[in-house]
Amino acid sequence: MVAAQRFEGQTVLVTGSTRGIGAGTAERFAAEGANVVVTGRTEADGRTVVDRITEAGGEATFVRADMRDPDAIAALVEATAEAYGGLDVLVNNAGVETNTAADEATMDDWEFVLETDFRSYWLCAKHALEYMDDGAIVNISSNHACLTMPEMFPYNAVKAGINGMTRAMALDFGPHVRVNTVNPGWIAIDRTTDEMDPEYRAKLESIHPVGRLGTPDDVAGVVSFLASDDAAFVTGSYVLADGGRTAVMQDDMLPDYRARRTE
């Protein structure tokens, strides 16, 4: 249960917030008093998130936008500022991935991931800055920025790049706007767990020091902290929210992978 109203009267834009981590983050900010703009490509899903927020007593609106379209990004940020009179917090969360290796990925794979997961973060932040006097930007990356798995390219490269982008933005946007990154690990959302074999899930849980997979709420709590005045002296940093997964070394899958690749 969220009691603090750390964002009362503030406006928060969360990209990719029609489901999963983004939806959970939007709901967390609304519960802490923010006016929230939910956005994504699927209006029905976005309306569902807005309805959950308003039914819980929060304030939210949906603006449809495709993060691969620079003009749509500019219009999204402008619509946010017009709806609520400004912008205080931007959460860059929209993301896609392709299950491709570095020597198998195509130009279409490259553009699909980089335009959605990387270029949109820069453009959203650049446009948001025009409306921020004091504020915070939180970029959602992944623990793939620190360690990775086979056939996750260019997703893993982009996630590492987001950490670097955050450092650059923290220098260039300071001192009035702070910029930080959250790097989630395995988060139990529909996209990752709907068809997951129970035995495989149990194995995944067993290699996490906390003994479970994460939830959108786990990530949302870290995001709201970094956006709040409680983190007023934190910028240019990243926080791993992965249940301790990156503290575990597990490379037993590599021999089988190499053998399969050379068959």
The pLDDT assigned to 255 comes to 45
The pLDDT assigned to 36 comes to 98
Give the confidence band of 257 by pLDDT, cuts at 50, 70, 90.
low
Phi and psi based region of residue 33 (left: phi greater than 0; alpha: psi -120 to 50; beta: remaining): left
Is this prediction's pTM over 0.85? yes
The pLDDT assigned to 252 comes to 53
- Kindly report the backbone phi and psi dihedral angles of residue 68, in degrees, each rounded to the nearest multiple of 5, phi listed first: -90, -5
The pLDDT assigned to 203 comes to 82
pLDDT at 197 over 60: yes
107-111, 171-175, 211-215: least confident range: 211-215
The pLDDT assigned to 2 comes to 62
Report the catalytic residues: 155
Sheet holding 89-92, edge to edge: 59-64, 35-40, 11-14, 89-92, 135-140, 177-184, 238-241
The pLDDT assigned to 104 comes to 96
Give the confidence band of 4 by pLDDT, cuts at 50, 70, 90.
confident
pLDDT at 3 over 70: no
Q: Give, in degrees to the nearest 5, the angle at Cα 227 between 48 and 126.
A: 85
Cα distance between residue 96 and residue 19, in whole Å = 13
User: Looking at the domain covering 11-262, what would its CATH class be?
Assistant: alpha beta
The pLDDT assigned to 1 comes to 52
Per domain, the residue ranges of the chain are 11-262
The pLDDT assigned to 191 comes to 65
Cα distance between residue 223 and residue 151, in whole Å = 28
26-35, 120-129, 189-198: least confident range: 189-198
19-33, 43-57, 84-98, 188-202: least confident range: 188-202
Per-residue pLDDT reduced to its tens digit, 143-158: 999 989 899 999 999 9
pLDDT at 215 over 70: yes
